[in-house]
């Protein structure tokens, strides 16, 4: 995912998923060094897509029957949140569940925050309030 960075340089951020559901981010061309790593999906990630207009937002679908929405610009702030949410990364905005074996997801290009997903159990169209 490319963005214009400081001094007019173009910066690429690559989002990588491994079969265990771990996700890491690397900024290129800085030798692919990981700049962040997150663990939320408990199975393989089957689809990932950057938001078409919010450069730091992406959605990911997994074989663990959930879709997650992330904002990578969010940073940890001390003292906020509740104890039951303390184990979740602050970049995690939304978790959608209810489909079996989610295979693919896409952002709608004209409707902000609208996601479409396909799964063995059918397809879903839903809007998140966070984007």
- Residues 38, 60: Cα–Cα separation, whole Å: 12
Domain at 65, CATH number: 2.130.10.10
SS3 state of residue 75: coil
Please write the tens of the pLDDT for every residue from 89-128: 788 888 899 999 999 999 999 998 899 999 999 999 998 8
Full residue range of the structural domain in which residue 84 is found: 2-127
User: In this predicted model, what pLDDT tens digit does every residue of 1-57 receive, in sequence order?
Assistant: 455 444 444 444 555 555 555 555 444 455 555 556 666 777 888 888 889 888 888
Distances (CA, A) of 56 to 3, 5, 71: 10, 13, 5
Q: Look at residues 65, 63, 49, 57 and name the one whose alpha carbon lies nearest to residue 106.
A: 49
Number of domains comprising the chain: 1
pTM over 0.75: no
């Amino acid at each position: 995912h490319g963005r214009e960075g400081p001094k007019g340089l173009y910066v690429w951020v690559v989002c990588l998923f491994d079969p265990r559901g771990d996700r890491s981010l690397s900024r290129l061309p800085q030798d692919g060094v990981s700049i962040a790593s997150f663990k939320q999906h408990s199975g393989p990630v089957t689809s990932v897509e950057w938001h078409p207009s919010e450069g730091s937002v992406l959605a990911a679908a997994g074989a663990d029957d959930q879709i997650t929405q992330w904002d990578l610009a969010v940073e940890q702030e001390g003292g906020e949140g509740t104890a039951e949410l303390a184990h979740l990364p602050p970049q995690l905005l939304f978790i959608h569940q209810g489909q079996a074996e989610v295979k693919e997801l896409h952002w709608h290009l004209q409707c902000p925050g609208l996601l479409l997903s396909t799964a063995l159990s059918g397809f879903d169209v839903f809007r998140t309030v966070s984007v």
